[in-house]
């Protein structure tokens, strides 16, 4: 098919020296899509995040969850140092991928990405599914972005489905995924982003882009998001 990139050097790309649990998860199969988010096929998480494949156009489906408590504060996480892509960076509550199987590929009312979000909130942050029922997630839009890691080996190229949820939850971070968590107000997040460079705090590229393009207008309307949301794929950032 379209994405047969398995050159010899690709197969030889070594995951030696990385965390074994994270290496194992690089075998998960993500959903390859075109720029309109139509399914093209599947690839391993490893294949879909190799910079050499992304330079050839490989694009996959992802989600970003923004979880707010009833005080309206946003839960941030700092990705674990063990993560292969964008380690030790601060980001929104949870960012991952729906996997290539029917329950998470179902696009009816964005139910597939909501199921994936519920799965990963449990796996990364220990949040019980009953505290984040599928019906409470609000799908807002999709963002198409690309970002290369400093090492030049790994990258992101995603159609990212943005989900909001407001719930008071119990958080028990999985240390292999998450180094730290923090609830922030709008002013605190604006200050964090503005002063990150001088304080040597790293922020994931997708979180920065969502903040620059979408986040605050929605955050202002948490009580009623019915006026927001669209079916578009917004291409943002550098491509």
With b for 16 or more beta-carbon neighbours within 10 A and e for fewer, the 179-218 pattern comes to beeebeeeeebeebbeeeeeeeebbbbbbbbbbebbbeeb
CA dihedral over 158, 134, 22, 204, signed as positive or negative: positive
**Measured between alpha carbons, how far is 152 from 164 in angstroms, rounded to an integer?**
31
User: Could you give phi then psi for residue 7, rounded to 5 degrees?
Assistant: -70, 160
Q: To the nearest 5 percent, what fractions of the chain are helix, strand and coil?
A: 30, 30, 40
**Confidence class for position 15, pLDDT limits 50, 70, 90:** confident
Predicted local confidence at residue 4, as pLDDT: 45
Catalytic residues: 95, 158
Q: 78: helix, coil or strand?
A: strand
List the one residue out of 102, 115, 14, 13 whose CA is nearest residue 63. Answer: 115
Question: What pTM value is reported for the model?
Answer: 0.92
**Confidence class for position 218, pLDDT limits 50, 70, 90:** very high
Predicted local confidence at residue 25, as pLDDT: 81
Q: Are 91 and 77 in contact (CB under 8 A)?
A: yes
Q: Are 121 and 93 in contact (CB under 8 A)?
A: yes
Each residue's pLDDT tens digit, 90-148: 999 999 999 999 999 999 999 999 999 999 999 999 999 999 999 999 999 999 999 99
Q: 171: helix, coil or strand?
A: coil
Predicted local confidence at residue 11, as pLDDT: 46
Each residue's pLDDT tens digit, 30-85: 999 999 999 999 999 999 999 999 999 999 999 999 999 999 999 999 999 989 88
Q: Which two tokens stand for residue 149?
A: 């890691």
Q: 184: helix, coil or strand?
A: strand
Contacts of 200 (CB under 8 A, 6+ apart): none
**Distances 70 to 50, 65, 73, 105, 183 between C-alpha atoms, Å:** 39, 16, 7, 30, 11
Each residue's pLDDT tens digit, 173-204: 999 999 999 999 999 999 999 999 999 999 99
List the one residue out of 158, 51, 152, 28 whose CA is nearest residue 100. Answer: 28
Predicted local confidence at residue 19, as pLDDT: 79
Q: Which two tokens stand for residue 24?
A: 């194992």
Mean pLDDT score of the chain: 92
Measured in Å, how far apart are the chain's first and last C-alpha atoms? Answer: 24
């Amino acid at each position: 098919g379209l994405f047969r990139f398995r050159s010899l050097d690709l197969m030889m790309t070594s995951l030696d020296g990385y965390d074994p649990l994270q290496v194992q998860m690089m075998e998960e199969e993500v959903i390859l899509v075109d720029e309109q988010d139509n399914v093209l096929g599947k690839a391993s998480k490893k294949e879909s995040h190799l910079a050499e494949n992304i330079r050839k156009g490989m694009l996959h489906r992802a989600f970003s969850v923004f979880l707010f408590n009833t005080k309206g504060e946003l839960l941030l996480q700092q990705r674990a140092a063990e993560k292969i892509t964008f380690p030790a960076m601060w980001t929104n509550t949870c960012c991952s991928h729906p996997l290539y199987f029917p329950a998470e590929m179902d696009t009816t009312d964005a139910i597939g990405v909501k199921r994936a979000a519920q799965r990963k909130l449990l796996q990364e942050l220990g949040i019980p599914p009953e505290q984040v029922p599928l019906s409470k997630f609000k799908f807002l839009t999709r963002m198409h972005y690309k970002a290369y890691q400093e090492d030049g080996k790994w990258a992101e190229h995603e159609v990212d489905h943005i989900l909001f949820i407001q719930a008071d939850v119990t958080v028990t971070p999985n240390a292999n995924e998450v180094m730290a968590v923090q609830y922030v107000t709008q002013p605190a997040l604006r200050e964090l982003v503005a002063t990150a460079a001088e304080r040597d705090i790293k922020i994931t590229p997708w979180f920065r882009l969502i903040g620059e393009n979408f986040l605050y207008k929605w955050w202002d309307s948490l009580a009623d998001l019915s006026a927001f949301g669209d079916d578009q794929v917004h291409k943002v950032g550098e491509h």
